[in-house]
Amino acid sequence: MTPEETAVGSAQTVSRLTSNFMIDMDTFVFAATKGFEDIDFYFAGRGGPLGEVDADVVTAALTFFNPETVRKAWENSAGVMSRAEAASTFAGCASTWADGHLADDALDWGQLGDLATQVVDAASPASAPLFAAWRTLPVPEDPKHRAVHQLNALRELRMARHGAAVVASGIDVADAVQHNTPYMMGIYGWPERELDADLGTRWDQAEALTNVATAADYAVLSEADAEQFVTLCLAASAAID
């Protein structure tokens, strides 16, 4: 399996699996017990590894959110807990979600974690600040928790590659959200707008560029390991309860 085939074959799992813990109702309920309001914990936790930075830095790293939305949540959450604690708590929610939604015997979580770690450790952090920041967090020892933690690192890596590809393709980030996930426009803080007729073509170009960039990240895997990684990724997605 080539690196680009690996990038394409793992994309759905890498892009979507760990997003489940971020939007899970139990995560929001837990965050509320800590003093967070609305979806502020999402920004505090996901951006937390960046440290005590200005909201514009978080916006730059997240790429697709309205800067005003990010600033409001970032500043509202500042007094709840430190950025480092928010990041650690957010990572803990990933493990909690995994325990509740991914069966221990669904696949070899240890092997998935090992393969993901190979990519995480070798990948260039260039233009991927959230990936670089997440990579500094302690990695859980439990095999399933470790796999999910490292898959989230790969998610931040792919999202960074994708954000750069979208911008390089000349797509406005708000248009990108409306084209790909129109039902999320409010969450991202954008009003609906009329899209250019050629946006679909440019979006496909951005997706292709994303896979080219991500392929370089997966080149560290042997052909056999790459095939196994994709197989385990698909099994992990299928295991979500």
State the residue range of the domain holding 225.
Answer: 3-238
- Write out the two tokens for 233: 């990724």
Residue 19 confidence (pLDDT): 97
Residue 193 confidence (pLDDT): 86
Residue 168: other Cβ atoms inside 10 A: 12
In this prediction, residue 186 has a pLDDT band, given cuts at 50, 70 and 90, of very high
CA geometry: angle at 62 spanning 58 and 67, to 5°?
A: 65
CB 98 within 8 A of CB 144: yes
Residue 148 confidence (pLDDT): 98
pLDDT digits (tens, 9 = 90+) for 38-90: 999 999 999 999 999 999 999 999 999 999 999 999 999 999 999 999 999 99
Helices marked H in 17-142? 19-23, 25-33, 40-47, 55-62, 67-76, 83-101, 109-122, 129-134
**Residue 222: is its pLDDT beyond 90?**
yes
In this prediction, residue 7 has a pLDDT band, given cuts at 50, 70 and 90, of very high
Domain count, the chain: 1
Residue 163 confidence (pLDDT): 98
Q: What percent of the chain has pLDDT over 70?
A: 100
pLDDT digits (tens, 9 = 90+) for 109-160: 999 999 999 999 999 999 999 999 999 999 999 999 999 999 999 999 999 9
CB 26 within 8 A of CB 97: yes
pLDDT digits (tens, 9 = 90+) for 20-31: 999 999 999 999
Q: What is the mean pLDDT of the chain?
A: 97
Residue 118 confidence (pLDDT): 98
